[in-house]
Structures are given as structure tokens and as C-alpha cells.
Structure 1
Amino acid sequence: MDRIEQECRELVDPGGLADPSHEAAETLILRMRGYLQLLMAAVEEHAERRPPTDALGARTRYLAHDTRLLLEEVPDACVVPRMYGFVLRCARCALDLVECLRECDPLAASQ
């Protein structure tokens, strides 16, 4: 999680997108989708263990749903700025998922 968080923070920081090429955008999209799938599975697992009235459980279910919708989205593959916009949305979503996972299980997140 630390590596995913670091990479996503670097992307969302101003000047984080160093290589504005089409190929770099395609690579980042694939990487971000992989991160989101991995993190979403862990968040869904935590959501299943929480009661429906639990606030953190509601947040995990919301994040999992929001992530699923983002993964279903097809980014514009012809316009590089739109591709990078999608990458940034994925990176922000991944950061939210990491934060949620750390909140759900602080001990496991620190290992």
C-alpha cells in the first residue's frame, strides 16, 4: 500500500505528470486500473465484515461502489489530456481507498 500511495501522491501533486505522451498515459491507465482492482477487493472484504449501520462500513461500501463505476468507465483514448484526467481521477480514488484501508485495519496497514 505504501508504494501505491506514494506513486498516486506523486501523480496528483502539481508537476507529477512528467511524461505527457500517449504511451505514458496508456501505461498509467493500466497501472491505475490494476491498483484500483487490488484495493477495491480489500475494501470490499472489509465492507462485508462490518454491520450495515456502521459508519466505516458505509464508507467502505460507498468507496467500493464508486471505484467499480470508475473501473467501468472507458477513457478517451485519442485525447491525451483526457487520458491524464482519467489517470488523476484513478489516483485520487486509490488514495481514498488506501486511507480507508488504513482506517479499517491500522495494524495490518502499518506492516
Structure 2
Amino acid sequence: MATQNGAAMNAPHGPRSTVSDWLASAHPTPEGAHHEWKLSGIALIPTGRVFDVLRLPAAIVHRAVGSAVPELVRARLGDGAVIHDAYEPGRWYYALVRPGAQHAYRLDEGTWLGIPEAGRTTRPGAYWIRPPRHPEDFCPMDGVAELIRRGGEGPTPPRALPELDTIEQACRALFDDNGRDPCPQDAAAATTQARDHLTALLPVTQEAATQLPLDHAAQARLARALIEAYRQLEADSSSLNLARQYAHAKRLARCCLDQVRVLRELDAAAAGPQRL
């Protein structure tokens, strides 16, 4: 990918609404994508019709550009829109390419990916490390090939499934306070623990969503679980009111329990050696 000035790419050149409408047009109901962006800043959108997506291991991207610092990665990437999934720090980059791309890193057609709102260029969560400047702001395939060549084709370690029993037990315990009077330290610890569990679950849940066909019975529930998780992770948890702090910790924990439930259902229904 040809190097350009990253600072100049930090905002779309054209009207943001035009870019948003283009991204949303890939959704079966575009207004649904706009609604998800309004709620959480992330919309689950299927790939393969309006755009294809190459999922690039962070190790390759970071070796190619010589840095893992987001600002330097942004400045050293070339043309085209690229998403960074920051819920699992540094693991994946998603490059938008023209539909019909043939590449080993291409997501299967119809997989659902968390697409940030067009102006979302910072963490937390998935964000545009290079936002789309206009509709069809695709990464050139020859540029992606060059980036992969420079970064090397090192093996990507398999994703480990979090300890679902441990997460479920810890989250359920949060709802059993045994009549204890809350204190600020307990509230902060509960929020941190629930947030850590949720950030461990999200990459696995997101990957599960990309593996399901559009009409799979669990797809809608998985989408709702992801959207709510994104929303709660971005909610302000700095309230000095202990009751509100605990309420937020419990909402985070409930998000964890929802995702554990869906992952277990998918695991039980999985056939063959590739289990979630």
C-alpha cells in the first residue's frame, strides 16, 4: 500500500452521510444499520455484496508498517478504508475491498462484521483506523498483497475459548450480594471484572457471528448480544452513585451471560472438529 499522510485521512472527504448510506446499503434493512450506529456506534453488516473484507492479522500489518502505534499505523497504511478491532488489542485489521475479491484472508460472503459508524476513528472498540473518504473507498488488491509481502506470512495462533464456566460463575455471583452494603471499592472491582470478561468474550462472539449464515436461527440473538455489549462498554461508569455503579456492573455482567449462553448453544450444535 502506498504511504500517505494519515492526519489528512482522519475524516471523510465527502459528506459523512453519503459514506454512511453506502455502508448501510449492504445491510438487508439499511435503516437497521443506521439505528445500530445511533445506539452503539457499531452495526453488524454482512459482507460480499457492497464490499468484501480481508481480515489481516495484526502481526503482518505491524511488521509491514514498522509499528503497532495506531497513529503510526494510520499514517503508514495506503489507500482504502481499514477497520481496527480494538476489543482484542492488536489482533485484527479489516480492509474493505471490491466485491468478488479472491484472497485467502477474505471473509466468506454473507459473514456479519461489526462496522463502525463512518466518523468513528478512535477507541474503545472497533473503529476506522483509516475511515472511508467516499463510497467505494476500497483498498487496492495489489497494495494489500504488497503489505502482506512486507509483513510476512507468519502463522496466526488459534483463538482460545475463554473459560465460560469461570465467567458465568463470576457474573452470576454479582447478582447475589447477600444483603451486603456496597462500598466504592467493591463497585469499581465489580465493574472492572465484568468489563474484562466482556472484552475477552467479544472477539469470540464476533468471530462466531462471521461464521453463521444470514438465516441462522442464532444470528439475530447474536447480533443483539453484540450490539448491547458495545453499548454497555461505552457507557459512562464514572458515577459517584454506588447504586448506579453496581447497576452498570450488572448490565455488563448480563451481557457476558447472554454471550456465554449463545456460545454454548452454538458449541452444542457444532458438527465436526471446528468447535467454538
Give yes or no for TM over 0.5: yes
Residue of structure 1 in register with 2:182 after alignment: 20
1:46 aligns with 2:208: yes
1:53-88 deviations in Å (ceiling 9; x for gaps): 212122212211111111010124311111001111
- Matches for 1:65-76 after TM superposition, within 5 Å: 65-76=227-238
Give the Cα separation in 2 of the matches to 1:63 and 1:30. Answer: 19
Q: Per residue, is there more helix in 1 or in 2? A: 1
Which consecutive unaligned segments of at least 5 residues does structure 1 have?
A: none
Which consecutive unaligned segments of at least 5 residues does structure 2 have?
A: 1-163
Q: Which residue type is aligned with residue 207 of structure 2?
A: E
Moved over 2 A (4+): 106-109
Task: Give the percent of matched residue pairs that are identical in Structure 1 and Structure 2.
Answer: 32
Whichever of the two has the greater Rg, that structure is: 2
Q: Return closer, same or farther for 1:11/1:68 CA change in 2, 3 Å cut-off.
A: same
Q: Return closer, same or farther for 1:59/1:8 CA change in 2, 3 Å cut-off.
A: same
Q: Return closer, same or farther for 1:27/1:19 CA change in 2, 3 Å cut-off.
A: farther
1:22-71 deviations in Å (ceiling 9; x for gaps): 01111111111111111121111100000112121222122111111110
Residue of structure 1 in register with 2:265 after alignment: 103
1:84 aligns with 2:246: yes
1:61 aligns with 2:223: yes
CA contact (8 A) 2:206 2:226 kept: yes
SS at 1:55's partner residue? coil
Give the Cα separation in 1 of the matches to 2:206 and 2:243. Answer: 31
* Number of positions where the alignment pairs a residue of Structure 1 with one of Structure 2: 108
CA contact (8 A) 1:76 1:82 kept: no
Give the Cα separation in 2 of the matches to 1:19 and 1:94. Answer: 24
Q: Which residue type is aligned with residue 221 of structure 2?
A: R
CA contact (8 A) 1:12 1:92 kept: no
Give the Cα separation in 1 of the matches to 2:265 and 2:171. Answer: 18
Q: Which residue type is aligned with residue 175 of structure 2?
A: V
Q: 2:174 aligns with which of 11, 28, 42?
A: 11
Q: Per residue, is there more strand in 1 or in 2? A: 2
Comparing both chains, which one has the higher relative contact order based on Cα–Cα distances under 8 Å and sequence gaps of 6 or more? 1
Q: Which residue type is aligned with residue 96 of structure 1?
A: D
Give the Cα separation in 1 of the matches to 2:183 and 2:176. Answer: 18
Give the Cα separation in 1 of the matches to 2:195 and 2:180. Answer: 19
* CA shift for structure 1 position 19: 5.9
